Structures are given as C-alpha cells and as structure tokens.
Structure 1
Amino acid sequence: MEQLQCLPYGVGHADEGICLLVQLGPHRVLLDCGLASVAPLVAERQSAPPVDLVLCTHAHPDHARGLLALHQTYPKLPIYASEVTTHLLSLNWTEVANAQSQLQSQLQSQPIPNFCHALPWRTPVEFFDGLSAELYPAGHLPGAAAFLLTYTSEQRSYSVFYTGDFLLSNSRLVDGLPLEELRGLKPDVLIVEGSYGTARYPHRRQQENQLAERLHRAIAENQSIVLPTPTLGMGQELLMLLRSHHHFTGREVDIWVDGNVALGCDRYLEMLSHFPSTVQNFARHQPLFWDERIRPRVRSLLNLSASDRSKAFAQGQTPCIVITDKESDLGQYCSPNTGEWLLLIPSQPGRMGSVEAAIEHTLGTSPKLRSQIQSGQIAVETYLLGDHCDGTGTTQLIHNLRPQHIVFVHGSPTYLTDLASLEELQNRYHLHTPSAGVQVDLPIGETFLQPAAPESNYEGELTEEEMSISITLPDAITRDPRWQNFADTGLVEARWQGEELVLRGLTQRELLAQHAESASPVALESCEYCRHCRGQRCWNQASPLFGFKVTPEGYCPAFEPAPIVREEFPSEDNPL
C-alpha cells in the first residue's frame, strides 16, 4: 500500500498556527505554515528542504506567518497559493518591510520578495509525476482556497481534500465555498477545520443585521464606536456592511480606518477584478472604501498628523466609527474629551475561550482603557460575525464530500472532540483529532477499527417539585475546561430546541448589562423559536403564514421570540 500520512506541526489549538505535512506516496506536501517559529521544520532537515512544495490556503497569520522565514531558509522551495493570496501575504510582515525600508539606503537591504506563485482556480496543476493539486474557492477571505491533492500510482489514485478555513455562506466581499461543485467528490481523506465545533449560530446575514442594529442604536444614543479587528477580512467586511446597509446609507456618520486594516483596504482595491460581480458593480457606482462625498464618509487615518487626528474625534461633533488593528492602543481614540464610546469586540468561538477572555485580551493591549471603562465613558460588548462554518455547515460539507478519513484541525481540543463525538459521523467515517507532533496514519482500502468515541455525554437526574425542578449531574462534568465559564455565576438560561432543553451559563457581564433580560444571542429567528408557532402551525394573524403548517427553519417578518425560561443551576457558591 502507498503511504498516506499526516504529520501536524501545528493544528490550530488556541493561538497555535496551522502547519500540516501530508505524505502521498513518495511526495511530501506542506499545507499552510502558520507557525510563529519554523524551527521544528528546520530542525528535521537542516540542509535539504523538509518538503517538496508548500500550499497556502489564505493570507491570515495563523496559516501564513511562517512562510517568509521558511522561504528565507529554503529560497528554492516552491510555495503556491491563489493569485489574490499572493498579493495579500506581505501584509503579514509589515513590521519587517518597514524596518527594511528604513535601513535600505544604508544596508542596501532588499524588500520582501514576492516568493509565492499563483495557481489558477478549478484547474489541476501537476507538480511532480503523478502528483497534482486543484484549487477551489473556500469563502472566508478573498483568495482563500481549498486544495484537492491527487497522487496517482500504478495501483490506484489517492486524494486528500484540505479546506483551510472555509465558509459556505456568502459574505459582503466573498462568495461562499461552492458546495455543489464538490458534491460526491469522495476523497480518501478530508482535512477540515472545526473552529466552531458543534455549535449552531444564526445565518451570516442575520448576524450582520443584528450587528447593524446594535451600531444603529449606539449612534442614535450619541455614542461613538471603536471596532478592533484583524488586518484582513473582518475590518473590510464591516466597512462594506456600513456602506451598504439601510441603517447607514446617507447617514451623517464619519467612519475612520487606521493601521494595517487601512493597508488591507488599499490592497483589496488593487484586486477588484477578482471580487464577486456584486462587489464590482458596487465599485462602479461609488468607491468601495474611501469616500468623502457620499455618506457615511469613509476616511483613512494613516496620513493624518497628530493634530488632525485629535480634531477628527473632537467632542461636540456627530458620533463616529473607528475600525483599527486589534492589537493597537485603543485609548488613543477614546480620549476623555471625545464623549461616550462603545467598544465592540468580535467573539471567536473556540479560539480565545470565553467572551470574558476575549475582552481581557483586548483590554490588555491598552491599560488606559480600564479606568475609562470603570468611569463609564466606555461601554464594552461583544458581537458575532462568523467567518467559519458552525456545526451544521461542517457536517453538511462532510456528508456531501463523503470521505473515508476525516482529520479535524483548527479549533479548541474540546470543540474538535465534540465534532468527533457526533454519532452521525462516528457511524460513517474514520475520525481523527491529532495533536501537534503526533503522526496520523491514514490506511486506505484496509480494515480499520474505529476508535471509541470520546466521552461527551453525562447522565443525570431530574427532580420535579411543586414550584421548581432540580437537575443533578455527576461531578465529572466539571473536569471539562469549559465548566468554569458555564458555572461562572451559578445561573443558567434554558430554552427549547425542538424536543431538547438547552442550558447556557450566564456571565457576570450579562447580568450587569442593561439588557440582561433580552433573549439568548444564540436564539434563531425561525418558526421553531417563534411564540406563535404551536403544533407546527403559525397562529399569528399578522403573519403571511397564518394557519399554514410551517417548518422549524421557516421565517417571516412577523417573527416574535418565544419567552425564555431562566432557572438556577447549582454550584458551590449558589446551591439550590
């Protein structure tokens, strides 16, 4: 049997990058290189390259930040990506480029070379005898690609499909992964991200509407807003949302963009021909980003002097919105004389831990913020604008591709274990959740014993009393690292999901928030969660579906959320 193996150097746990060595027969292919240090790769083979070629899915740091060091160590090692990704990669090393630019006249240093070669979409490219790769759009980020690797020997062909980060839904600037083109592909191995685990979230467009509504309310309350984001992806998506959503078109609002996010916008503008037709049509009628003529006005802060920057946020002007680097000092915008501010932090399920951890991470970059928050000048909230598939989207991709082996990467170990524990996957596929440095053998066409599913279910007891109920669970559940976040306050929120009762822990921040009694943010606007849906029929006379039988995922403009039942959950500090 030919060799088919995967050796992960990084699997995307916490802040760890993605870096996977896949062996197909005699060929060694590196999928992404998001390592902060390439020492593990170099240590294995100091003279010769550790792989035959490198494929990069997209330009986010956790997939690409190690490529420059790898190229400098092995200049002749071929590195490939989509054409858009080749243009975006250099934004990962802006600090290096700036340092080289300052020293170039003295040391004659060269700028960062364009070392990555572009590959066409949907066209197999043969690199070596029998080894080829084909790129498919993956959604998530402009230029993001999924790779189909094929190795053909004398006996048979072997195939590996690697998604990188992917999203099935269309976003403002990127079309989603074209699932219909991949249906029935049947690769031998699917390497798939599981960033959001088995969690279920509202549709992308609904998330955008919820965020736009929150921004709309903040501006109406005369609050300015600061949105820290990564260099690529989220910041540009937010700009397009603000430019095109009905809450903001024609509104007297200034939007300021700073730092590397502004550089990312400029880089996007150089590649408009690669964007979806809807984006290109928008750009024909008005500028995609920078526009001081049409409201809301969008301007860059990069070229403004310190005095001009201070004038931009002067108190007494209309509220503004600032989009900037997530690592920047946010206190420079929210100075005491600029009125009230709302700091909106993107939540990253499965990556940074709890919402509280995401907030602490952001506040740690700007010590001045803490005193401003305590004084009430700055309010802090989080929002979800997912750029990965949730559990439903991940399983949908899997069932459409129908692989033999599935390797789950990119996400917290608990989230990936949740996916590997799904009975619908356990019964059909060979599942793997590797750790960095642990080789995974992927035998094809041989007897393979499926490992036992990780323990993820806990049996408990329910006691119904006259005025309340009690749920007792074994203490083994507290060993999961997510328990501390769940039991933080000793209070839970309960809601029905079909025939199942779902419990969610309430955080201290939620209890102190002004709208603590609002519906759970994970509730979906569908018939299943509407107060007027009874017996699978709509009983809302204001709805066009009145009297008809409806599906759980149905939706109409007359949706009203069903009331949420809140029950106390026993803890050491709050026993029932």
Structure 2
Amino acid sequence: MKRAKEADAVSFTALGGGAEVGRSCHILEYKGKTIMLDAGVHPAFTGLASLPFYDSYDLSTVDVLLISHFHLDHAASLPYVMQRTGFKGRVFMTHPTKAIYRWLLSDFVKVSAGPLEEGNSELYSDEDLNSSFNKIEAVDFYSTTEVGGIKFTAYHAGHVLGAAMYLIEISGLKILFTGDYSREQDRHLHVAEPPPTRPDILICESTYGTGLHQPREEKETKLLSLIHGTIRNGGRCLLPVFALGGTQELMLILEEYWSKHQDLSGVTIYYASSLARKCMAVYQTFINMMNDSIKQQYARTKVNPFQFKHITSLRSLDKFDDIGPCVMLASPGMLQNGVSRQLLERWAPDARNSLIITGYSVEGTMAKHIITEPSSITSSVNPEVKIPRRISVDEISFAAHVDFKQNSEFIDAVGAAHVILVHGEVTNMGRLKSALLSKYAKQKGTHEEVRVYNPRNCVVVRIPFETQTVARTKGGLAAREPNPHERVSGLLVQSHQDFGLSLVNQDDLEALTGLKEARVMEKQRVVVNALPELVRHYLLSMFGTDLADISPTEWVVMQLVTVRFEKANNYSVSWAAGDSSDMLADSILAVLLGVDSSQASVKLTSKQCGDHTPPIPKESESSTDANITEDKKDSNNDVESDSQANLQRGDTRRKQLCSLLVPHFGDTFNATNSTVEIDGHCATIDFDTLHVESTNNTLKNRVQHILDLCASLVEPLSSSL
C-alpha cells in the first residue's frame, strides 16, 4: 500500500563551522529526531570563546552525536558537551578515532587550559575526559548502526586515519555528511568515495573554496627541494604540523626520500610532539584500515611502515642539541604556542633557515600571519618584544582537504538535490557557492535543480522533503494477495523506531504491534424538568424505532448513545467517542434541552377533571338541528383556532431554528432579516418553505444544508404542538 506524497521539512543549524573554519558543530532535525555532527573548538580562540554556540540550542534533545575525526576543531569540545551540558544522547566515532581521541584531548587539556572566568579554570578536567571516553561507542566502516529510528553508516573520508563520512537515514531521508575529506591519493589513506546510494542532502566542507591544489608530484618535489636546499646551506627547516594526520604522511615522504639520498644520512629528522609519539602505536596497529598500497608494502617487507629509521622523536627542547642542519616537524600547526612557536622565534632571525607551512592556516593565527612575510613577529612570552623575521617562508599545502575540482566532481558524483556548505571562511564559501550555482544554472527550475546553501552560525536552514510512504500489510491482511483494484482497509500503524508503516486488522493489532485497543467514553449530565415518560415521548418522536427501551428510565438510541434518568430531574447521556456517536449525542442533547421550553409538554402532561365531564345529550330531531347549528359555530371557531395555532407553530419553529442557526453562523446570521452574510455574499432564508436564496451557490448550498439539519431536529417538536 502506498500513501500520497507528504511534505515535511528537515532543519539544519550550524552551531559552529558556519562561514568559518573551526569549532565545527552542526544540528540536524527531522521527524522528531535530532542528530549532532562534530563538537570542536576554534583554534584562534581560547576558553569558552572557542566553543560552538551551545547556549543557543537545547542539547538535551540530541539523540545521536557523530564525530567525523579526531582533530581539535571537530572533537575537542566533546567532553564539555557530555559532562557539562544537558546532553543525554549517544556518541559514536570509528575505532581509530576513539583510540587517538583520548591522547589528543589529554594533551589539549594540558596545553590549552587557562583561566576562563572566576571559579572556572578549564573547559573540562581529566576526570571529565575519562568519564566521557567510557561513554563513547566505536563503529566499523561500512557497518550500519540504528538508534531509535536513526540509521547511519561510516565511510572512509581520506582526511586522517579513522576519518569518516556518515550516511544518515531517517524515515527515508538520506543525508551525507563529509566532515573533512580528501580525494587525493596519498601513501597511507583511502580516498573518499561516494556512498552506494544517492543522498537527498549533502553537507560538505568548503575549506579551499574555488582554489586549486598543485598536483601531488609537484608538491612533493617542491617540498623536498626546499628542505634539501636549506640543509645544503647549513640551515634548519621548520615544518609546523598538526600532531596527527598530515604529519604521518610527511614522515612517510621524508623517510622514503632520506633512504634514497645517502648525503642526508647525517642529518636528523625530528618530530617534536609527545602526542605524536604516544599515538604512533595506533598507526602501527591500524594498518588494516589504511589503503592497499601500504598494506601491500607491509605484507611484502614484513616491516611496519610506521617504524622509521631516519626520524627521531624529540621529547623536550631542553634535550635538543641545536647544532647544525636538521628538519623539525613540530606541533601545533597554527604556531600559536608550544614547540613550533618556540622554534620559530628562535630560528626566525637567521636567513639560512626556512619555514614551510604544510597545512591549512586559520584566520587569526600566527601561521596565517607569517605567510604575509612580516618584517618581525611578536614574542609569545612578551607581546612587547618584536623578533626580526629573516627566515624564508613558503606554503605548500599537504592539508588533506579537497580543492574546487575535487569537491565539484564529488558533488556531481553524489548527486544530491541540496548541498549545504560548511567549514569554510566566508569568502571561500561564497565563491564556491557562486561557482556551483553557475555550474548548475541550466538545471534551475527543473526536477534536476541543485540548491546550494552557505549558512552562517545559528542560522536555521529548512528544506522541504517529500516522501512516498509504503505500508506493508501484516497478519490476516497479508494472508492473501489482493486484486490490483481491490481496496484494502485496516489500521495504519507507524513504528517509532524506523518510521515504517504497517497495515493490520483490528484483531491482529496487539499480537503484531503490542498496541492495545482502548475506547474513550464520553458522558454529560443535563437537568430536564420532566418525568421519564415525557422524555421518552420526545426521544421516540425523534428517533422512532431506533430507540430501544432498557428500562422505564433508561433508553439506547441507535445502539450508540445511552440516555438514563438518574435522580431529581437529572438525566445522563453517555457514549463511546466517535464521529457518528458524537453527532448523535449532540442531537439527543438538543432534544433534551428543548423539552422544558416546548409548549407541547404542557398538552402532553395535562389531564381532564372527572367530576366536570359534560353530559352527552340524547338524540332527537330537535337536538339534531341544534347540534348542526352548534357544529357550524364550532367549525368556524376551529378554523379560527387552527389558524392561530398554525401561526403559533410557525413562530415557535422559527425561534427554534434560529436558536440552532446562531451556533453555526454566529454574528453572520441576522435573525431579524433572516439572512446570513459572509464575505460580502448574502443568503436569505424563507422559514415557511425552508428554502434559501443567494446569488452565491456555495453559500446557498452551505446554508441550505445546515437549515435542513436544523429542521430535522425541530420537526418532531413542532409537529407535537
């Protein structure tokens, strides 16, 4: 069974990462389900200012939180969310991401903790981190997980080890969230691939906007040439890097180059990051989650590719013998603080040295500032001290993000009708949106139109979504296959888990769905100053054979509504709620409320006094003549009396009809003029013929229908007068 298409709306809100790079956090809402995507911090800010705009959303409503990868701008505020907000949902990430997450955030707590405000010196503590870690659930790539009607599947994103794109499905709606992703083949990671099914909505990064990357071979050649040239000149080469991700790729590149150049055997490559050292075991463990190239290398050589010969871990700058040429991979990548900043300030005055920015630089950071090649830089220890900059500065991006060509091709391959851009500075994001709209301009106005959104933080995007829902027959209805044109009826039940619809017989309801049938009983009491015999007379006049006597004081109308005399002129009307029974109960209540005011009640309850019965005259000729004369007089009196009675009945019926028409039409009904006026159209009622006249057929038919219903209610009362 199929239902017609229904329109609903999916809601998207960026709490961070909207028209900016950093503190990525997005909210999806659909069919009463809420999904949170990532929970990062902004690298250019500290403390509470670095958080996404959590105060603008009720996090207690979130059902599922999905972390795309372990980088700080995507995962560093997760313990804050889990331990210091009203968040009650479940958290998921891949196994490699969870393995690195704990080390990464423990290092973040030590390095970035600082005074935020009085009485609160940190975003979260080690205890918060440990507690949140135990609540995180790890998922495998390509496996589908379901939580309360939300289905999601992780696919390789190619950005860092364990980075995942998530294909999310809620009641037929499919959404693909890329997180940070890469389409460039490198030495150890999978290339991001479109999912096997077409999503309705694509949420993708726009980090580089319309920029284009150098070909991979050219970048490696330029990087190695700059490093080799610096060493020949007796200089030191500084590569500020993120502790995890691109660093491991650079290590593989340098290890391979050093093994091919014997003249470099005396030059040491350092990586100055305790976090990278601790997490190297994770890379050595998860070889099976890397690409085929590195798995084949491992199978062929039986040597773990992440056990390096030419690269040494530097535990502390205090133990660093800073003499002669060297290559230093040091974190953090934004040069805001830490070892990379200390070495920059130490090496900046020497022109023999070189600085190579290999990752993406966020606005407001030292990495972004130094690319402009300023004449001096500010000391991180004393802001009043200016350090001359003579070190050469180059930017060779090995950041594992897609450029415009890769992003555009991926969007084409995915084929989503709606594209939401995130994780991009406002200029880059705007340029990418314009380029995509120009590309899809010919499809505008057709069923293949692609809509592109670039929302800022806290701006809600609502996208209508139409579905054609299929209901499966179960139980007795599924016992046989119906004819193509046969109408199948039953109870339509929707599951709160997967939103699937089932059509079942009423008898199968509890067995197949666990639901139980219940009836809502309605009851009203009214006061009628009349004995049960008179009330029964009115009910019998109204409903005839549809009235069944249960007892002298209790009756059932049409087997649906029970009328009962209780005590002291109190009558109760009770029925099982339903369209038909509700309408019938209203009619019965109208009859009961009219018993007191009806003049017919007086006639029906009056009696003649036995002592004053007039004698019947004897028959005789004279009396016959007298009777004829009297009959003529009585006849004239009867005609006159009937005329007055008819006028009285007509007036009474008019009043009764008016009293019923007022609740229907309110102030639009004018009882004096017998008119109903709505939106400039007028309908005139003839209460004698019960006909309605109007130039507007719609209004005429409506008033005539209501008038006929009211007349059917008062007719038994009027006829008894």
| TM-score bracket relative to the smaller structure | 0.5 to 0.7
| Matched residue type, 1:231 | A
Task: Assess if the C-alpha contact under 8 Å between 1:350 and 1:415 holds in 2.
Answer: no
- Provide the C-alpha distance between the structure 1 equivalents of 2:238 and 2:457, rounded to a whole number of angstroms: 36
Task: Assess if the C-alpha contact under 8 Å between 1:41 and 1:50 holds in 2.
Answer: no
Q: Which residue of 1 is the match for residue 450 of structure 2?
A: 429
| 1:167 and 2:182 matched | yes
Q: Which residue of 2 is the match for residue 320 of structure 1?
A: 326
* Match runs of 1:475-490 below 5 Å: none
Alpha-carbon distance change, 390 to 290 in structure 1, aligned in 2, over 3 angstroms: same
Q: Which residue of 2 is the match for residue 480 of structure 1?
A: none
Displacement of 1:341 in angstroms is 2.2
Q: Which residue of 1 is the match for residue 137 of structure 2?
A: 117
Q: Which residue of 1 is the match for residue 268 of structure 2?
A: 254
Task: Assess if the C-alpha contact under 8 Å between 1:289 and 1:298 holds in 2.
Answer: no
Q: 1:90 aligns with which of 89, 92, 102?
A: 102
Displacement of 1:132 in angstroms is 0.4
Displacement of 1:91 in angstroms is 3.5
Secondary structure of the residue that 2:464 maps to in structure 1? coil
| 1:402 and 2:415 matched | yes
Alpha-carbon distance change, 355 to 96 in structure 1, aligned in 2, over 3 angstroms: closer
Q: Work out the percentage of aligned pairs sharing the same amino acid.
A: 20
1:163-218 alpha-carbon deviations (Å, 9 max, x no partner): 11111112222121024x54xx3311111111111112222343222212221222
Secondary structure of the residue that 1:117 maps to in structure 2? strand
Displacement of 1:405 in angstroms is 0.7
Displacement of 1:271 in angstroms is 2.8
Secondary structure of the residue that 2:26 maps to in structure 1? strand
Gaps of 5+ in 2: 1-6, 43-47, 112-124, 444-448, 468-721
Displacement of 1:332 in angstroms is 4.9
Alpha-carbon distance change, 147 to 39 in structure 1, aligned in 2, over 3 angstroms: closer
Task: Assess if the C-alpha contact under 8 Å between 1:8 and 1:21 holds in 2.
Answer: yes
Aligned-residue RMSD, C-alpha: 3.5
Q: Which residue of 1 is the match for residue 16 of structure 2?
A: 10
| Matched residue type, 2:459 | V
- Provide the C-alpha distance between the structure 2 equivalents of 1:111 and 1:418, rounded to a whole number of angstroms: 39
1:315-363 alpha-carbon deviations (Å, 9 max, x no partner): 4xxx211111123244754757999421222353775699862547995
1:237-267 alpha-carbon deviations (Å, 9 max, x no partner): 2111101237855431211111234334344
Displacement of 1:379 in angstroms is 2.8
Alpha-carbon distance change, 434 to 84 in structure 1, aligned in 2, over 3 angstroms: same
Displacement of 1:138 in angstroms is 0.7
Instruction: Please identify, of 281-290 and 389-398, the stretch whose mean Cα deviation from structure 2 is larger.
Output: 281-290
Instruction: Please identify, of 56-65 and 202-211, the stretch whose mean Cα deviation from structure 2 is larger.
Output: 202-211
Q: Which residue of 2 is the match for residue 442 of structure 1?
A: 463
- Provide the C-alpha distance between the structure 2 equivalents of 1:403 and 1:288, rounded to a whole number of angstroms: 38
Alpha-carbon distance change, 127 to 112 in structure 1, aligned in 2, over 3 angstroms: same
- Provide the C-alpha distance between the structure 1 equivalents of 2:282 and 2:151, rounded to a whole number of angstroms: 30
1:354-398 alpha-carbon deviations (Å, 9 max, x no partner): 986254799556579997654x4x333322223111111111011
- Provide the C-alpha distance between the structure 2 equivalents of 1:403 and 1:133, rounded to a whole number of angstroms: 17
Secondary structure of the residue that 1:408 maps to in structure 2? strand
- Provide the C-alpha distance between the structure 2 equivalents of 1:110 and 1:366, rounded to a whole number of angstroms: 29
- Provide the C-alpha distance between the structure 2 equivalents of 1:351 and 1:435, rounded to a whole number of angstroms: 16
Q: Which residue of 2 is the match for residue 62 of structure 1?
A: 73
Gaps of 5+ in 1: 100-106, 447-576
Secondary structure of the residue that 2:440 maps to in structure 1? helix
Q: 1:146 aligns with which of 147, 151, 165?
A: 165
Alpha-carbon distance change, 204 to 214 in structure 1, aligned in 2, over 3 angstroms: same
Task: Assess if the C-alpha contact under 8 Å between 1:97 and 1:112 holds in 2.
Answer: no
| 1:233 and 2:248 matched | no
Q: Which residue of 1 is the match for residue 395 of structure 2?
A: 382
- Provide the C-alpha distance between the structure 1 equivalents of 2:52 and 2:393, rounded to a whole number of angstroms: 39
- Provide the C-alpha distance between the structure 2 equivalents of 1:402 and 1:383, rounded to a whole number of angstroms: 32
Displacement of 1:108 in angstroms is 11
Secondary structure of the residue that 2:199 maps to in structure 1? coil
Secondary structure of the residue that 2:8 maps to in structure 1? coil
| Matched residue type, 1:125 | T
| Matched residue type, 2:102 | S
| Matched residue type, 1:160 | I
Secondary structure of the residue that 1:245 maps to in structure 2? helix
Bigger helix share: 2
Task: Assess if the C-alpha contact under 8 Å between 1:231 and 1:264 holds in 2.
Answer: no
| 1:348 and 2:348 matched | no
- Provide the C-alpha distance between the structure 1 equivalents of 2:425 and 2:283, rounded to a whole number of angstroms: 31
Q: 1:391 aligns with which of 384, 392, 404?
A: 404
1:527-575 alpha-carbon deviations (Å, 9 max, x no partner): xxxxxxxxxxxxxxxxxxxxxxxxxxxxxxxxxxxxxxxxxxxxxxxxx
Q: Which residue of 2 is the match for residue 202 of structure 1?
A: 214
| Matched residue type, 1:328 | G
Alpha-carbon distance change, 112 to 148 in structure 1, aligned in 2, over 3 angstroms: same
- Using structure 2 for the length normalisation, give the TM-score: 0.52
Displacement of 1:234 in angstroms is 2.0
- Provide the C-alpha distance between the structure 2 equivalents of 1:188 and 1:287, rounded to a whole number of angstroms: 41
Q: Which residue of 2 is the match for residue 134 of structure 1?
A: 153
- Structure showing greater Rg: 2
- Provide the C-alpha distance between the structure 1 equivalents of 2:143 and 2:187, rounded to a whole number of angstroms: 26
1:151-171 alpha-carbon deviations (Å, 9 max, x no partner): 12xxxx111111111111122
| Matched residue type, 1:112 | N
| 1:275 and 2:317 matched | no
- Provide the C-alpha distance between the structure 2 equivalents of 1:305 and 1:17, rounded to a whole number of angstroms: 30
- Provide the C-alpha distance between the structure 1 equivalents of 2:382 and 2:351, rounded to a whole number of angstroms: 16
Secondary structure of the residue that 1:93 maps to in structure 2? helix
Displacement of 1:53 in angstroms is 0.9
Q: Which residue of 1 is the match for residue 200 of structure 2?
A: 188
Task: Assess if the C-alpha contact under 8 Å between 2:179 and 2:204 holds in 1.
Answer: yes
- Provide the C-alpha distance between the structure 2 equivalents of 1:215 and 1:343, rounded to a whole number of angstroms: 9
- Provide the C-alpha distance between the structure 2 equivalents of 1:4 and 1:403, rounded to a whole number of angstroms: 14
Secondary structure of the residue that 1:443 maps to in structure 2? strand
Secondary structure of the residue that 1:187 maps to in structure 2? coil
- Provide the C-alpha distance between the structure 2 equivalents of 1:361 and 1:217, rounded to a whole number of angstroms: 20
* Match runs of 1:489-504 below 5 Å: none
- Using structure 1 for the length normalisation, give the TM-score: 0.65
- Provide the C-alpha distance between the structure 2 equivalents of 1:4 and 1:110, rounded to a whole number of angstroms: 33
Displacement of 1:285 in angstroms is 4.7
Task: Assess if the C-alpha contact under 8 Å between 1:194 and 1:409 holds in 2.
Answer: yes
Alpha-carbon distance change, 408 to 268 in structure 1, aligned in 2, over 3 angstroms: same
Secondary structure of the residue that 1:262 maps to in structure 2? helix
- Provide the C-alpha distance between the structure 2 equivalents of 1:145 and 1:394, rounded to a whole number of angstroms: 16
Q: Which residue of 2 is the match for residue 213 of structure 1?
A: 225
| Matched residue type, 2:455 | P
- Provide the C-alpha distance between the structure 2 equivalents of 1:411 and 1:349, rounded to a whole number of angstroms: 12
Task: Assess if the C-alpha contact under 8 Å between 1:14 and 1:352 holds in 2.
Answer: no
Displacement of 1:66 in angstroms is 1.2
- Provide the C-alpha distance between the structure 2 equivalents of 1:430 and 1:398, rounded to a whole number of angstroms: 12
| Matched residue type, 1:387 | A
Q: Which residue of 1 is the match for residue 632 of structure 2?
A: none
- Provide the C-alpha distance between the structure 2 equivalents of 1:280 and 1:431, rounded to a whole number of angstroms: 39
Task: Assess if the C-alpha contact under 8 Å between 1:373 and 1:379 holds in 2.
Answer: no
- Provide the C-alpha distance between the structure 1 equivalents of 2:292 and 2:452, rounded to a whole number of angstroms: 38
Alpha-carbon distance change, 109 to 233 in structure 1, aligned in 2, over 3 angstroms: closer
Q: Which residue of 1 is the match for residue 256 of structure 2?
A: 244
- Provide the C-alpha distance between the structure 2 equivalents of 1:285 and 1:320, rounded to a whole number of angstroms: 29
Q: Which residue of 1 is the match for residue 83 of structure 2?
A: 72
